[in-house]
Amino acid sequence: MRAPILEKIRLELKADTAAELMTENPVSVSENASVREAMAMLIDKGFSAAPVIDEAGRPVGVLSRSDLLVHDLENVEHLRESPEFYYRDELHTGAGERISTGYQVEKVDRTLVRDLMTPTLFTVAPHTPASKVVSELLDLRVHRLFVVDERGVLVGVISTMDVLRHLQT
C-alpha cells in the first residue's frame, strides 16, 4: 500500500507592518531594578526575556533567564565558618540590634539589571514591512525584535510566536 501524498500547504503572512505583528506595550524592566526584582517578574509572567529600559522608556538592552543563570553560577558565595552554637548574647546585627531566635538573615544580591543585561538589542520601526521583520528575525537568529517609535521609545515587541500567529493557509 502506498503512503498518502502530502499536499503542499502554502502559508501567507496576514500582516503588512511591524505594527500589525507586534504585541503593544510590552512588559519591561528598569535598568535600575534589582536582579531579584527582575527574576521575580520573569518567573511570575512566564517570560524568557524582557527588554530593559532607561528612565525615558528607551530600550537599552535585554535581560534573559540565561543572563540570570550565568550570574548565579558566577557569584558563588561561600559561607564563613561558624561555630556549632551561639550564646544568646552573641545574637545581634552589625549595628548591635538583638536578633530573636527563629529568624535567619539573608545576604541580599545588590546587583542591578544594567550590570547583567545584554546591552545589544535589535529594533524595527512600526512601519517596517512584515516581510522585513521576518527576514531580520532569521538573519539575526533572534527570537524577538523590539519596536521603537521615532523618539526611540519602546512601543512593542515581535516574537517568533507573534509571527506564527499571523500565518494563515
Domain layout of the chain by residue ranges: 12-168
Q: What is the pLDDT of residues 118-132, one digit of tens each?
A: 998 899 999 999 999
Alpha helices in the chain (DSSP H): 18-21, 35-45, 65-74, 113-116, 130-140, 160-165
**DSSP reduced 3-state for 50:** strand
* 169 residues of the chain, pLDDT tens digit each: 666 666 788 889 999 999 999 999 899 999 999 999 999 999 999 999 999 999 988 899 999 999 999 988 887 665 555 555 566 666 666 677 766 656 565 667 789 999 999 998 899 999 999 999 999 999 999 999 999 999 999 999 999 999 999 998 8
Bridge-based pairing state of the strands 154-159 and 23-24: antiparallel
Return the CA Rg of the chain: 24
Q: What CATH number belongs to 12-168?
A: 3.10.580.10
- Contact 34/41 with Cβ under 8 angstroms? no
Buried b (16+ CB within 10 A) or exposed e, 32-61: ebbbeebbebbeeeebebbbbbeeeeebbb
Residue 130's CB is within 10 A of a number of other CB atoms, namely 19
Whether the full predicted model's pTM is greater than 0.85, yes or no, is: no
Q: Which helix (H) or strand (E) holds 7?
A: none
